[in-house]
Amino acid sequence: MFRIKRLYAFILQGFLPLFVMTFCICLFIVLMQFLWRYIDELVGKGLEFTVIAELFFYAALTMVPMALPLAILLASLMLFGNLGERFELTAMKASGISLIRTMRPLIVFLVLISIGAFFFQNDVLPKAQVKMWTLLYSMRQKSPELDIPEGAFYSQIPGYNLFVDRKDINTGKLYDLVIYDVSKGFGESRIILADSGKMSFTEDKKHLYLELWRGAQFENLREQQVANQGVPYRRESFSTKNVMIPFDASFTRMDDSTMSKQYIGKNIAQLRHTIDSVNVRLDSIGNVFGKELQSEAYVGVSKVRQHYSNTGKITTEVVRDVEMKKPLNVDSILNGGSIADRQRHVALAIDRIRQAKNSYEFKSYSFVEDQKVIRRHQIEMHKKFTLSVACLLFFFIGAPLGAIIRKGGLGMPIVISVLLFIFYYIIDTAGYKMARDGRVEVWGGMWASTAVLLPLGILLTYKSVNDSSVFKSEVYTDFFRRLLGWGTLRRVEMKEISMDDVVSEEASGRLEHLISSADSFVQDYGKRQSYLKYWLKGIDRGRLKALSAELEDVVAYLANSREQIVINKLADYPVLRSLLLYRPVENKMLAYTFIILFPIGLAGYLIGGRQQAHLLKEVRTIVHVSKELIKLHSEKTTNKLYGSD
């Protein structure tokens, strides 16, 4: 019987609630972004709640590819940040459980999530996008809800402007109406004034019915205009008048078939079929254009010749180029005529070039449009896979990062997650636009964000597994100091728990021995070496390594001190390095070679001599710091300096 391990169950129980919570939060945020983007097209349309709810449901499905990777990043960062903050990861590592083993159940779980994300992208998302865009376009075409304000013109009815001075809510009557009818154009405009009226819809909700009382109508009669005379108009007074205004107030849903033929409504098989079909069409059109170019006449001379064969069929043969014994001087032919002839020839040539250019550009439009269709379908096909890869990628960024920073909760993880996701989103959007416009290959643009963040995921996973420091500035400072030859700064921190107490007598003895070793080193190498001695002897790096090992042993012993002044003083010790320039070569024949090659040997001698002088300065610093530490021991008693807590 299969039983999940207790550790794996513990990890899953901690991850699943965080994942569900963060996914809902992220989905809500991207839905709000969708609402802010299309709020102007939804408000004031009188849409039913069920229609709006349906739109938001399909919009939520289309937003899953954006919310899912961010939720995985945030949940994994929070989980492993909490484990690190509570020292649970430390306890697991002390028990022999590596970070990869701790992540194993989540890796399996997210592999299943990635597989599900692929099928979601391929089967569910196209249908959801078709439904969402169909609903959205249907809502865009719906007329706004009729709500005529008081004391202001209402212009939401196409071709009409209505003004109402006041309204009676109880009876529904409108008073002091002004109607501007410009549905037939300003030349045939109509103005209606009425003391009062009442408004209603027809049963099919396709027209607005107005019953007006006591008013007048003014109408231009441009159709009856006589030449060179003003536009006649007609005035009509009425006691009762009925007006029908076209106004579709119903909500008509578009057919899904139109949107399903677009690239957003196709799965991988349909996308590949469309790409292959368009490629075949491009190849056939290209062959036709190629044959036309081959048969195109240049300067009035055709490259092909057509004639009837004996059977009555038209055959085409290529005309051979005429071989000229010497080049033809075209300028002499042009200059042979008059100025008017030359201008006419040049103008005719320019006109033919423009015609040919316009013809080729017109023919290329179909190529450009078909290439856009191919790129759109290729982009959509790559999107089927990028979501699955992004889910795994963000997990291998979030989990190691949480283990490194060891900060849980909603503070630091949210900040880091948002910054990383914004970085990912910017690269992904830039790659998508470049691929859409044909500036880069489609696969390069769609996988650019993955290619940029993949090294980061590998680096963070490697660093967290090996407990390496990533966010400590000292690591990078020491690296650049070593790169520039400045040496590494020593950093000593007081231990929270010390297993060994520092004994004053033993500490003084070790310091005295260290001073003796350092003084002996300075006496032997204190003077600047000559050119020959540098290449033949140099500084004994074995002796230098022994001195460095003794120094590190003293520092490690005194680092158990409970006095902050001692810890601070230990940081003044230099870190001795065993550089090759201290003794470049040990083989005498090779040393004599450098001595003979004076320019190269002199450059090495000057650089190495400078490094040797810096080393001697560091050794003298060891003597000085050791004496100060001995002085500290002599001024205070052992109980005051190293008393146990």
pLDDT, tens digit (0-9, with 9 covering 90-100), for 347-358: 888 888 888 788
Render pLDDT for 495-553 as a digit per residue (tens, 0 to 9). Answer: 766 667 777 778 888 888 999 999 998 888 888 888 888 888 888 888 888 999 999 89
> Residue 116: its pLDDT value, please?
92
* Phi then psi dihedrals of residue 569, to 5 deg: -70, -35
* Phi then psi dihedrals of residue 583, to 5 deg: -150, 90
> Residue 304: its pLDDT value, please?
65
Across the range 572-577, mean pLDDT stands at: 86
> Residue 78: its pLDDT value, please?
87
Count of beta carbons in the 10 Å neighbourhood of residue 274: 19
The DSSP-derived string for 545-603 is: HHHHHHHHHHHHHHTT-S-HHHHHHHTTS------GGGS----HHHHHHHHHSHHHHHH
Count of beta carbons in the 10 Å neighbourhood of residue 385: 18
The DSSP-derived string for 29-71 is: HHHHHHHHHHHHHHTTS---HHHHHHHHHHHHHHTHHHHHHHH
**Cα(293)–Cα(392) distance, rounded to whole angstroms?**
52
The DSSP-derived string for 387-455 is: HHHHHHHHHHHHHHHHHHH---SSSHHHHHHHHHHHHHHHHHHHHHHHHHTTSS-HHHHHTHHHHHHHH
> Residue 641: its pLDDT value, please?
41
Render pLDDT for 273-301 as a digit per residue (tens, 0 to 9). Answer: 888 888 887 777 777 777 666 666 665 56
Q: Is the pLDDT of residue 19 over 80?
A: yes
> Residue 481: its pLDDT value, please?
53
> Residue 189: its pLDDT value, please?
78
Task: Give strand pairing partners of 196.
Answer: 175, 213
- Average pLDDT value over all residues in the chain: 79
> Residue 638: its pLDDT value, please?
47
> Residue 115: its pLDDT value, please?
93
Which of 42-51, 218-227, 455-464 shows the lowest mean pLDDT across its residues?
218-227
Render pLDDT for 306-345 as a digit per residue (tens, 0 to 9). Answer: 666 666 666 666 666 667 777 777 777 677 777 887 788 7
Render pLDDT for 169-205 as a digit per residue (tens, 0 to 9). Answer: 777 788 888 888 887 776 677 888 989 888 877 776 6
Render pLDDT for 353-394 as a digit per residue (tens, 0 to 9). Answer: 888 788 777 777 777 788 888 888 888 889 889 889 989 998
**Cα(139)–Cα(133) distance, rounded to whole angstroms?**
10
pTM: 0.61
Provide the H-helix boundaries in 191-267: 256-260
Q: Kindly list the domain boundaries of the chain, sorted by start residue.
A: 6-141+383-465, 153-246, 477-642
The share of the chain scoring above pLDDT 70, in percent, equals: 81
> Residue 496: its pLDDT value, please?
61
Across the range 261-273, mean pLDDT stands at: 85
The share of the chain scoring above pLDDT 90, in percent, equals: 5
Q: Supply 573's token pair.
A: 């010790």
> Residue 113: its pLDDT value, please?
92
Q: Is the pLDDT of residue 635 over 70?
A: no
- Of residues 17 and 220, the one with the higher pLDDT is 17
The letter for the amino acid at 422 is I
Render pLDDT for 61-114 as a digit per residue (tens, 0 to 9). Answer: 988 888 899 899 888 888 888 888 888 887 888 788 888 888 888 999 999 999
